[in-house]
Structure 1
Amino acid sequence: MHSKIRFIHSADLHLDSLFKSKGHFPERLLEQLRKSTFEAFDRLVDQAINHQVDFVLLVGDLFNESIRSLKAQVYLRSGFQKLDKFGIDVFVSYGNHDYLQGDRYPIAFPANVHVFSSQEVEAIPFYKGEEHIANIYGFSYIEREIRKRKVQEYIKKDSPHFHIAMLHGSLESNTEHDVYAPFLMEELYARRMDYWALGHIHQRQVLSEDPPVVYPGNIQGRSKRETGDKGCYFIQLDGVNHTRTFLPLHSFTYETVTLECENLNSPHDLEAVLEQAKAQVQQKQKSMMLEVTLLSNNGVLTKWQEEGFLDEWIEVVNEAENLEEDWIYIYQVHIEDQPYWEEEELKRGQHFIGELLREIDGLTEEEVMDWLAPLFGHRRALKYIDQLTPEEVRSEMEFAKVSLVEQLLKREDQQL
């Protein structure tokens, strides 16, 4: 009798993704960005083999688009064939990015791959030898969006040792992502599954320990919103306990650093500032795309940025990286200078700038998102941009306000 199973839980591979970082990058770096999701998948396959797992769960969004690139499909098939040689099964469900209706010419996978091909929840049995040891439950998206609840369709069948549910969806209360196949924790508990393998949210999260309800996150960060280590979970279930081990798979990570800048006398001091930012993350000993925020209270950083010194020093510092191993590439620098003008004083004024500030104060995040809705609803645009979170909307509104006022004040000074 087998009373233990070992498996990999992964989701959101997004093979062959376009990267959404701003800027123009060296060709050597672009090549590393392009191949990173494929390299992460290679590591996933190797980890499954090294840990001698029984099967691999891939919970939606294996591909980045519904019309999948031939390269990504063939690469995935090759990995599955490698797993087949080691007797490892694969269970696949498709999500909102790679929904089935969009794929007109799918490539056939080897016999060890079990695909949930319906939008209705089904159970696929898993056998160890001749013993029916587990049922794997899941469904695939047929269309881009599933707004209705799916949890009630997860009904335990037969009496294997383990019941494992795959669900590409999100908590009903989630405000930071599109809510697809929504669920409540109480609904998951009521299904009495031994493990809930979730997908769709790219930040790894453990929503519950008993039973385990887990998001593994995606396998490779693709923008500044996907910071930190990325990978999958190695899971062991023995009928009483479970163990969960995170396995990093990324080729590089997105990281952020914030520095306070004081006593800067010359734009050439920017070199030391940027090197200091890199030094703060160097001990992590991994390749990374670095976003730097520089804080100042005297306006000098903004002045040097406008004069082009900041961009030049970023280029010089980046060119010193060999981009071969454990590289750090500064892809974005934000300047947060304390404004030299007093907002409340200007707001009280009976002039255009005062009226502008009062109008901006009256704006809500919802109004701004309504203005931007046509952009974020455009299918082609979504390949290159992410939806903004409420925090990002507030940040962009503040940045726009400061920029507008400073440009207007500068123009007034020039006319005096």
Structure 2
Amino acid sequence: MAFRFVHTADIHLDSPLRSLALRSPELGELIGNATRRAFVNVVDLCLSEQVDALLLAGDLYDGDQTSMKTARFLAEQIRRLDQAGIRVFIIRGNHDALSKITRELTYPETVKVYGARAEAISIDLGDRATPVVIHGLSFAQAQCPESLVGKFKARVEGAVNIALLHTSLAGTPGHDCYAPCNVSDLEAAEFDYWALGHIHKRFLSTGRCTIVMPGMPQGRDINESGPKSVSLVTIADDRTVHVEEKFTGIAQFERVVVDLSGIENWRDMATAATLKLEAAREAASSEHLVVRLSFTGPTPLAWQLRNDADLVKTEAEDRAYVIGRTWIEKVEMHCTSLVSGDSVAGDPLVELRALVGSEIIDSESYDAALIEIGEELRGHLPPESRSILGADQEEFRATLRLLAREGVEDVLARLHRRKQDEVA
């Protein structure tokens, strides 16, 4: 008889969303509750599929949580699984290594929370043909710079061996390096299934063993875009492994780009944005769609849109409301004014824009001054926020150049509005 389980990680229950809440309290409330609702979806999936176990591969919490509301919520969901006879296996990752809730909350006997020393837990499956052993090892501290693979207990011969590990693998942009290892290291352990956590994007390897990074069941911001899911896993008596992706997200973040090339009036701009939002809503797998809307392309509307960005956002929010279950998280203006061969040729502001672009922004002296300012600014940021301008020096320089060009467009848009006001 097959052994079936749900594998998930990086739930980050009740992680803070202060900036989003400040921009839109209603949207902040939706996303603030989304991690809980997604976890309820995970539990619902376990119950509906009548699985044998739920595997949580780290970062169940977002940090050193002390909220008893969070503890009570988790206890309620664990109780639902316990009442259905579903086992739960938990390891702690970098975010919840020091969590007081994980350490102090009293779980039923059907729940196993692994400590900082590797353990191998045999599951009593009654008269099933193939025994199952669940290996696990938690982070002892928030930092774990060395590989943990060699610390696991050896595979149990004759059993299906499943292991939980929180790891950055060989390293992924945007994620700190924790318990680093590579696929060949994991395959060498000769386990049947590695239930990983930490990287928020889904990864699947089916070589000598099955290695799965399930991603996360719910994104929390625009950098965690796309549909979010968990893995429903079936291991047959012949050790064949079948992995199904099951969507669990409540709100799906997406970047939606609207190309305004050739568009010359406000109504056509709004229509183009609406069509893009409708297409994104149709493609989304989650109940709610949260959009960062970006306008690009050369258009005579560029300076007006930059001046009236608040009105553009209001227009987009109205269209999103009509579409339903669609939210505008932010509007970005990357569109540019036409420079030559158009109705505004000869305009001194257009000529100024061309001059700034060719002789100032692209100059080595300006680039050096920009980097100096950027490095000074970065030095004043807290350590956890210093990568906001780029994960490496090349990305840092590219971000500064982009901000400089966007700044030029914004300044020229203000000058354009002043000129219009003077004419009027």
TM bucket, shorter chain: 0.7 to 0.9
Deviant stretches of 4+, over 6 Å: 341-345, 407-414
Instruction: Provide the rounded CA distance (Å) in 1 between the counterparts of 2:105 and 2:62.
Output: 16
Letter in 2 for 1:265: E
Partners of 1:274 and 1:314 within 8 A in 2: no
What is the TM-score with the length of structure 2 in the denominator?
A: 0.82
For these two proteins, the number of residue pairs brought into alignment is 401
Is residue 241 from structure 1 mapped to residue 240 from structure 2 by the alignment? yes
Letter in 2 for 1:128: L
2:399 aligned residue (396, 399, 402) = 396
Please say which of residues 260-269 and 30-39 is displaced more in the overlay: 260-269
What is the TM-score with the length of structure 1 in the denominator?
A: 0.84
Higher relative contact order structure (alpha carbons within 8 Å, sequence separation ≥ 6)? 1
Against the structure 1 CA distance between its residues 20 and 388, is the aligned structure 2 distance closer, same or farther, given a 3 Å change threshold?
farther
Report the alpha carbon displacement of residue 127 of structure 1 after superposing the two structures with TM. Answer: 1.5
In structure 1, the partner of 2:304 is 304
In structure 2, the partner of 1:128 is 125
| SS state at 1:193 partner | coil
Against the structure 1 CA distance between its residues 225 and 82, is the aligned structure 2 distance closer, same or farther, given a 3 Å change threshold?
same
Report the alpha carbon displacement of residue 185 of structure 1 after superposing the two structures with TM. Answer: 1.7
Instruction: Provide the rounded CA distance (Å) in 2 between the counterparts of 1:83 and 1:370.
Output: 52
Is residue 211 from structure 1 mapped to residue 214 from structure 2 by the alignment? no
Instruction: Provide the rounded CA distance (Å) in 2 between the counterparts of 1:291 and 1:99.
Output: 33
In structure 1, the partner of 2:160 is 162
Instruction: Provide the rounded CA distance (Å) in 2 between the counterparts of 1:318 and 1:408.
Output: 26
Report the alpha carbon displacement of residue 371 of structure 1 after superposing the two structures with TM. Answer: 5.5
Report the alpha carbon displacement of residue 57 of structure 1 after superposing the two structures with TM. Answer: 0.3
Report the alpha carbon displacement of residue 25 of structure 1 after superposing the two structures with TM. Answer: 4.9
Instruction: Provide the rounded CA distance (Å) in 2 between the counterparts of 1:104 and 1:231.
Output: 23
In structure 2, the partner of 1:99 is 97
In structure 2, the partner of 1:372 is 378
Structure richer in helix, relative to its length: 2
Against the structure 1 CA distance between its residues 408 and 85, is the aligned structure 2 distance closer, same or farther, given a 3 Å change threshold?
closer
Report the alpha carbon displacement of residue 277 of structure 1 after superposing the two structures with TM. Answer: 2.2
Report the alpha carbon displacement of residue 214 of structure 1 after superposing the two structures with TM. Answer: 0.7
Unaligned residue ranges in structure 2 (runs of 5+): 340-350, 419-424
Unaligned residue ranges in structure 1 (runs of 5+): none
| SS state at 1:250 partner | coil
Instruction: Provide the rounded CA distance (Å) in 2 between the counterparts of 1:288 and 1:102.
Output: 34
In structure 2, the partner of 1:62 is 60
Against the structure 1 CA distance between its residues 53 and 100, is the aligned structure 2 distance closer, same or farther, given a 3 Å change threshold?
same
Partners of 2:7 and 2:56 within 8 A in 1: yes
Letter in 1 for 2:80: K
Instruction: Provide the rounded CA distance (Å) in 1 between the counterparts of 2:376 and 2:9.
Output: 31
Q: Percent identity?
A: 24
Partners of 2:10 and 2:57 within 8 A in 1: yes
Report the alpha carbon displacement of residue 93 of structure 1 after superposing the two structures with TM. Answer: 0.4
Against the structure 1 CA distance between its residues 369 and 122, is the aligned structure 2 distance closer, same or farther, given a 3 Å change threshold?
farther
Report the alpha carbon displacement of residue 135 of structure 1 after superposing the two structures with TM. Answer: 1.4
Instruction: Provide the rounded CA distance (Å) in 2 between the counterparts of 1:121 and 1:192.
Output: 16
In structure 1, the partner of 2:276 is 277
1:224 aligned residue (222, 225, 241) = 222
| SS state at 1:159 partner | coil
| SS state at 1:100 partner | coil
Instruction: Provide the rounded CA distance (Å) in 2 between the counterparts of 1:352 and 1:289.
Output: 34
Report the alpha carbon displacement of residue 336 of structure 1 after superposing the two structures with TM. Answer: 1.9
Partners of 1:101 and 1:142 within 8 A in 2: no
Is residue 45 from structure 1 mapped to residue 54 from structure 2 by the alignment? no
| SS state at 2:124 partner | strand
Please say which of residues 385-394 and 314-323 is displaced more in the overlay: 385-394
